Amino acid sequence: MKEIIKIFDTTLRDGEQSPGASMNIEEKVRLAVQLEKLGVDIIEAGFAASSPGDFEAIREISKVLSKSCVCSLARAMEKDIEAAANATQGAKFRRIHTFIATSPIHMKYKLKLSPNDVVKKAVDSVKYAKTLVDDVEFSCEDACRSDIGFLKEILSSVIEAGATTLNIPDTVGYRLPNEIANTIKELHDFIGNRAILSIHCHNDLGLAVANSLEAIKNGARQIECTINGLGERAGNSALEEIVMILKTRNDLFNNFEVNINTKEIYSTSKLVSDITGIRPQPNKAIVGKNAFAHESGIHQDGMLKHRETYEIISPIDIGIELDSTLVLGKHSGRAAFKDKAVSLGFVLNDNEINNAFDKFKALCDSKKEIFDDDLREILGEEVTHIPQVFSLDVIQVSICSSGKFCAAISIIKDGVEYSDSALGNGAVDCILKSIDRISGIKGLLKDYKVEAVTSGRDALAKVVVKVEFEPNKPALIGHGLDIDTMSATAKAYIGALNSYLSMKDLITSKEGTMLLERI
Ligand code: KIV
Ligand code: ZN
């Protein structure tokens, strides 16, 4: 009988603590739905007490999930635990995850509490959480730099108080695999079957995944991880790596099973990078753009003769279709397009499908081959439900004799066309200036990224911008997709502008400021 390793995903909480990994409520709900589809056992949906935005996101996520357990983080204090309980109220399965630091350095300098006071707070918090929900997890923050004797004492006490999962974080990513193995073994021998032992590794020394695996070998039965390894500083253990190691090296881990549908890994990774604007590095294991690319002639030759000569994982296993090269063409009809959308995991209403289909047809006129990744981008644009107050109509960019760039742009608002032009120091500068002149709102460009969605000269350009519209308020993300990079730039900037307009009230309210500090 195989043992289940529970997958606890914290992309929406620890992952969102990554600099720039902003997600609004609608995006968080979308990601949570995808994480449930992926088969995640526990979704840490946020930290309810940290901001009204986090609270609201957890509440919305709790309403829509039916299989995964929804969890909120809470410091070891009543007000946090109450917020966690209230936010998860509507969930079918829910958990409160409370924590307090246990290392000498954290207790002395951060908490300014004695070890006895820390134990008391932990016990009181778990007892209180237990009056509100059945499923309570307790974490010893900075456990891996804590005294093992003290860990045993506090863990015993919280088990008595009702904690059913005990999490051991390597908060600062300091430990090496053999050290994690020893710690988890000792704690597992001590705890036995009184509670489930969990591991939560950070990647400061690049060892988060290796450390998590050592923990499994030594008794941990829950892994805390994030999609694409997103997270504080160097990030957390990458879910996709852990799951694919367990699957690929089944010869070593054949006693264990996870509930993850690996075919959803690629879509989930793409969704996280689309929402946050943070792409995994190209050579990132499992989900990097080059993870399955074979460049050298010898490798290509081997692959053609027998894939397994150079491939230990089939891309099919993570949801990349091998026959995804040419999928649909100029003559494909609406029904085939709709079928393809469903097979790529998009659930869209008729209106959204029609919009996407029109964009697909327009793309067919300018691009020879349409790939699955092109379709994912087109369909992905329809999933964002931000009202399109402004939309790009026409754009023309030219270089003047002075060496300056000039953009002439027309934009549609409420069916009316508005046009203007501006000079700038480069193409992007003059495009943004023209849009600012039309909208009457000046944005400050904080980040600009452009990449080709697929290969080839006619590849779609995807532009992601981060724009600050109110001084000292967090920047908003906009995405733009077009064969033409300048049009994609204008669309991305207009996207961020539309996002700003839909959140303007929130941004200027006091609550909104707090929310946006987290977003
Ligand atoms: O890294 C950490 O210690 C954490 C805890 C709050 C679980 O994220
Ligand atoms: Zn963490």
Strands (E), 52-135: 69-75, 94-101
Q: Which residues of 402-437 are buried (b: 16+ CB within 10 A; e: fewer)?
A: eeebbbbbbbeeeeeeeebbbebeebbbbbbbbbbb
Say yes or no: 298 and 414 in one domain. no
Quote the Cα angle for 307-308-311, to 5°.
90
* Atom of ligand 1 at shortest range from CA of 97: 7
Evaluate whether residue 501 is within a structural domain: yes
The residue contributing the CA closest to ligand 1 atom 5 is 141
Query: Looking at the whole model, is its pTM more than 0.85?
Result: no
CA contacts within 13 A on the Cβ side of 87: 31
Domain contains 409: yes
* Residue 513 resides in a domain: no
Closest ligand 1 atom to 10 CA: 8
Radius of gyration over every alpha carbon of the chain, rounded to an integer in angstroms: 25
276 lines ligand 1 (CB under 6 A): no
Surrounding residues of ion ligand 2, Cβ less than 5 A: 14
pLDDT in tens, 464-514: 888 999 887 777 888 898 989 999 999 999 999 998 888 777 666 555 544
Secondary element (H or E) of residue 451: strand 444-452
Does 139 sit in the ligand 1 pocket, CB within 6 Å? yes
- 171 CA from centroid of ligand 1 (Å): 6
CATH of the domain at 403: 3.30.160.270
pLDDT digits (tens, 9 = 90+) for 268-324: 999 999 898 899 999 999 999 889 877 677 776 777 778 888 889 999 999 987 654
Q: Please check whether residues 440 and 479 belong to one and the same domain.
A: yes
**77, 111, 202, 226: residue to mutate for ligand 1 pocket, most atoms within 8 A of CB:** 202
pLDDT at 327: 58
Ligand 1 mean position, distance from CA 63 (Å): 25
Mutate to test the pocket of ligand 1, among 47, 141, 211 (most ligand atoms within 8 A of CB): 141
Segments forming the whole domain that contains residue 149: 3-276
User: Would you put residue 219 in left (φ > 0), alpha (ψ -120 to 50) or beta?
Assistant: left
Domain count, the chain: 4
The SS3 call for residue 185 is helix
For 147-178, give the secondary structure using H, E and C: CHHHHHHHHHHHHHHCCCEEEEEECCCCCCHH
Ligand 1 atom 2 nearest Cα: 171
Residue 517 lies in a domain: no
Say yes or no: CB of residue 171 within 6 Å of ligand 1. yes
Residue-wise pLDDT tens digits, 396-417: 999 987 888 999 999 999 999 9
What pLDDT shows up at residue 517? 44
C-alpha 477 to ligand 2 mean position (Å) = 25
Closest residue by Cα to atom 1, ligand 1, is 171
Closest-CA residue to 384 (of 30, 33, 21): 30
Residue 169 CB–ligand 1 contact under 6 Å: yes
Q: Is 285 a member of any domain?
A: no
Rounded average pLDDT over 80-85? 98
Structure confidence at residue 92 (pLDDT): 98
In a domain, 442, yes or no: yes
Instruction: Order across the sheet with 461-468: list the strands.
Output: 444-452, 461-468, 476-482
Q: For ligand 1, atom 8, name the residue with the nearest CA.
A: 14
Looking at per-residue confidence, does 363 or 5 come out higher? Answer: 5
- pLDDT band at residue 326 under the 50/70/90 scheme: very low
What does the block give as tokens for 377? 């981008």
Residue 172: nearest ligand to its CA?
A: 1
Tokens encoding 510: 């006091």
For ligand 1, say whether the CB of 200 is within 6 Å of any of its atoms: yes
Name every residue whose Cβ is closer than 8 Å to that of residue 212 and which is 6 or more positions away in sequence: 199, 201, 220, 223, 225, 237, 242
* CATH number of the domain that residue 89 is part of: 3.20.20.70
Exposure string over 496-512, b if 16+ CB within 10 A, otherwise e: bbbbbbbbeebbeeeeb
How confident is the model over 174-224, as pLDDT tens digits? 999 999 999 999 999 999 999 999 999 999 999 999 999 999 999 999 999
Distance 13 CA to ligand 1 centre (A): 10
* 283 occurs within a structural domain: no
Q: Indicate if 118 and 160 belong to the same structural domain.
A: yes
205 is a domain residue: yes
